[in-house]
């Protein structure tokens, strides 16, 4: 059956399918060296589908099955070619009766499409976000980044020696990320730290589970309100989705904000997208098979009274679409900060203080506060290891290091292991004496941003001269 010659001028479908899927199997296998069971299953499915596809005929005759032809094809020169094909397959003369069953060609074509679709879906599931992670760095048309890690560490060392250089000529606006409305201690420690230094600092009270465009407008209104009330420009520090929302505000409303904003720090923000959001919400990904999308929809929409679009806006497709339409203005001073989660035993047993519970007033007239804690560090460590196992990418548990780098920004890449929740929630364990706490890290990042803004203004002045 496979040895019969193909009709001249008609391409061999089986050969094409075999070559393409054998190449795909090689690429997919590289993604799952650490998951042999899943790799073996995907490879088996691809081999099976490819074999079955080879067994399906192209228009013409294969085996002992003859294919119906139209009346136009049976006339003229095509009739002789069909006769030769029938003779070749049956092994007899044209006068011999063909006893094979007449089958419409579209049946085989639909069958081939079905199996090809199954293979493509399996390949899409196996690869997941492998082709998307770090897409910003692969785009040669975008501006390059500058490494500011060494200068950041110098500033951080000075901060820990009580050498503070943040100016009081600006107002500092902290923009929280997802689920901040349900974590009342989000950024609270950092705000109190800045206030003790005599600096004007605010936390943006946005609905964190809203879409990027909705939050961008609310941040724009925050900035305008602060500026008109203080006549001071605003320095923003956005964490996680808060950084994405803040960048969107500058992209969408820069003509109204260019005289009111001094710069932006994006701390652990999925500026390019998040593989976690994509793998849960994208069609054909792992979330489709365990109904994670439905679970997240219920959690966000029903329980948290939010909008699922808040998560969808962090998928790679949405981020690519948004950034193509609304890129950041090149004159905005930007600092990007990203880290890698730790998996040490001390981290796995740490508890993060996310809220507090007030008990009824006792007989002595005093109320009692009980801390509400969660094992956030352990959860971030588990997510980080999953991303390493599946994609070989380092992350803070939710955002890969590659996706957190904003093109054209000064990037801080510390070696210290810090997970995604560390920046905003205090651990019940005291920080080691030789390590900076979250507030000091935020101060160092904003101090670096001030220097970047000053250098940029100087460079522009020199260029004008």
Q: Who has greater pLDDT, 13 or 287?
A: 287
- Other CB atoms within a 10 A radius of the CB of residue 40 amount to 12
Dihedral of the CA atoms 206, 212, 216, 217 (nearest 10)? -80
Q: Who has greater pLDDT, 325 or 123?
A: 325
Beta-sheet pairing, 66-67 with 369-374:
unpaired
CB 308 within 8 A of CB 300: yes
Q: In percent, how much of the chain has pLDDT > 70? A: 60
pLDDT digits (tens, 9 = 90+) for 71-84: 444 444 444 444 44
Selection from 50-64, 184-198, 413-427 with the highest mean pLDDT: 184-198
pLDDT digits (tens, 9 = 90+) for 333-350: 999 999 999 887 766 666
With H, G, I as helix, E, B as strand and everything else as coil, classify residue 261.
Answer: strand
Q: What angle do CA 432, 434, 438 make, to 5 degrees?
A: 65
* Averaged pLDDT for residues 414-436: 79
With H, G, I as helix, E, B as strand and everything else as coil, classify residue 89.
Answer: helix
Q: How many helices (H) and strands (E) does the chain have?
A: 18, 12
In what helix (H) or strand (E) does residue 21 lie, and over which residues does it extend?
A: helix 13-31
pLDDT digits (tens, 9 = 90+) for 16-47: 434 444 444 445 444 444 444 555 555 555 55
Q: How far apart are CA 81 and CA 110, in angstroms?
A: 25
* Averaged pLDDT for residues 240-253: 97
pLDDT at 214: 95
pLDDT at 128: 84
Beta-sheet pairing, 201-203 with 146-147:
unpaired
The overall average pLDDT reported for the chain is 77
Distances (CA, A) of 111 to 13, 106, 272, 361, 379: 13, 8, 38, 72, 44
Q: 143-175: buried (b, 16+ CB within 10 Å) or exposed (e) per residue?
A: eebeebeebbbebbeebeeeeeebeeebbbbbb
CB 375 within 8 A of CB 351: yes
Q: How far apart are CA 274 and CA 19, in angstroms?
A: 32
- Assess whether pLDDT exceeds 60 at residue 69: no
267 confidence band (pLDDT: 50, 70, 90): very high
Q: Which two tokens stand for residue 81?
A: 């070619």
pLDDT digits (tens, 9 = 90+) for 290-308: 566 666 666 666 555 666 7
Cα four-point dihedral sign 341, 345, 346, 352: positive
376 confidence band (pLDDT: 50, 70, 90): confident
Q: How many residues does the chain have?
A: 465
pLDDT at 7: 44
Q: Who has greater pLDDT, 125 or 61?
A: 125
pLDDT at 22: 43
Q: How far apart are CA 306 and CA 210, in angstroms?
A: 6
In what helix (H) or strand (E) does residue 374 lie, and over which residues does it extend?
A: strand 369-374
For the sheet containing 261-267, what is the strand order?
146-147, 410-412, 334-337, 261-267, 233-239, 170-175, 201-203
Q: Who has greater pLDDT, 451 or 375?
A: 451
CB 173 within 8 A of CB 249: no
Q: What angle do CA 195, 196, 198 make, to 5 degrees?
A: 65
pLDDT at 412: 98
Q: How far apart are CA 23 and CA 19, in angstroms?
A: 6
- State the DSSP code for 299: I
Q: How far apart are CA 74 and CA 205, in angstroms?
A: 75
Q: Which pairs count as long-range contacts for 45-49, CB under 8 Å and 24+ apart, including other chains?
A: 45/118, 45/119, 45/122, 46/21, 46/119, 46/122, 46/123, 49/21, 49/115, 49/116, 49/118, 49/119, 49/122
pTM greater than the 0.75 cutoff: no
pLDDT at 109: 62
Q: How far apart are CA 356 and CA 426, in angstroms?
A: 12
- Assess whether pLDDT exceeds 80 at residue 272: yes
CB 269 within 8 A of CB 263: no
N-to-C CA span, the chain: 79
Q: Mind giving me the DSSP string for 382-405?
A: HHHHHHHHHH---BSSSSBTGGGP
* Averaged pLDDT for residues 146-155: 97
pLDDT digits (tens, 9 = 90+) for 378-399: 889 999 999 999 999 999 999 9
Q: What are phi and psi of 342, to 5 degrees?
A: -100, 155
For residue 343, the Cα-to-chain-centroid distance in whole angstroms is 22
Dihedral of the CA atoms 242, 247, 248, 254 (nearest 10)? 140
pLDDT at 424: 82
Q: How far apart are CA 423 and CA 180, in angstroms?
A: 13
pLDDT digits (tens, 9 = 90+) for 104-121: 665 556 666 766 666 666
């Amino acid at each position: 059956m496979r040895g019969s010659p193909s009709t001249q001028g008609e391409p061999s479908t089986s050969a094409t399918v075999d070559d393409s899927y054998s190449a795909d199997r090689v690429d997919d296998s590289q993604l799952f060296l650490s998951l042999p069971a899943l790799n073996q299953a995907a490879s088996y499915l691809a081999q099976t589908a490819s074999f079955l596809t080879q067994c399906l005929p192209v228009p013409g005759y294969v085996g002992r099955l003859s294919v119906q032809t139209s009346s136009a094809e049976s006339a003229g020169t095509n009739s002789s070619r069909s006769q030769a094909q029938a003779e070749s397959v049956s092994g007899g003369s044209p006068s011999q009766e063909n006893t094979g069953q007449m089958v419409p060609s579209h049946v085989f074509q639909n069958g081939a499409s079905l199996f090809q679709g199954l293979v493509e879906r399996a390949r899409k599931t196996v690869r997941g976000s492998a082709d998307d992670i770090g897409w910003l760095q692969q785009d040669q048309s975008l501006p390059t980044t500058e490494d500011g890690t060494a200068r950041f560490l110098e500033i951080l060392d000075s901060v820990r020696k009580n050498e503070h250089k943040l100016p009081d000529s600006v107002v500092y606006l902290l923009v929280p990320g997802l689920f901040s409305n349900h974590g009342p201690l989000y950024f609270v420690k950092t705000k109190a730290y800045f206030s003790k230094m005599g600096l004007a600092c605010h936390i943006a009270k946005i609905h964190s589970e809203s879409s990027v465009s909705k939050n961008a407008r609310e941040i724009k209104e925050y900035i305008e309100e602060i500026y008109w009330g203080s006549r001071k420009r605003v320095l923003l520090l956005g964490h996680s989705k808060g950084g994405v929302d803040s960048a969107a505000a500058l992209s969408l409303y820069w003509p109204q904000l260019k005289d009111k904003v001094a710069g932006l720090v994006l701390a652990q923000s999925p500026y390019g997208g998040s593989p976690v959001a994509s793998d849960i919400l994208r069609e054909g990904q792992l979330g489709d098979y365990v109904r994670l999308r439905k679970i997240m929809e219920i959690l966000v929409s029903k329980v948290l009274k939010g909008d699922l679009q808040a998560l969808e806006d962090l998928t790679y497709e949405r981020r690519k679409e948004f950034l193509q339409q609304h890129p950041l203005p090149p004159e905005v001073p930007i600092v990007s900060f990203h880290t890698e989660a730790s998996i040490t035993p001390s981290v796995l047993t740490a508890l993060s203080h996310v809220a507090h519970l007030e008990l009824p007033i006792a007989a002595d007239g005093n109320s009692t506060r009980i801390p509400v804690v969660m094992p956030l560090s352990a959860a971030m460590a588990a997510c980080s290891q999953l991303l390493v196992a599946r994609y070989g990418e380092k992350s803070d548990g939710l955002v890969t290091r590659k996706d957190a780098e904003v093109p054209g920004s000064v990037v801080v890449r510390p070696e210290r292991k810090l997970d995604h929740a560390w920046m905003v929630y205090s651990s019940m364990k005291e920080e080691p004496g030789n390590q900076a706490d979250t507030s000091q890290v935020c101060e160092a990042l904003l101090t670096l941003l001030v220097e970047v803004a000053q250098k940029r203004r100087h460079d522009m002045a020199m260029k004008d001269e």
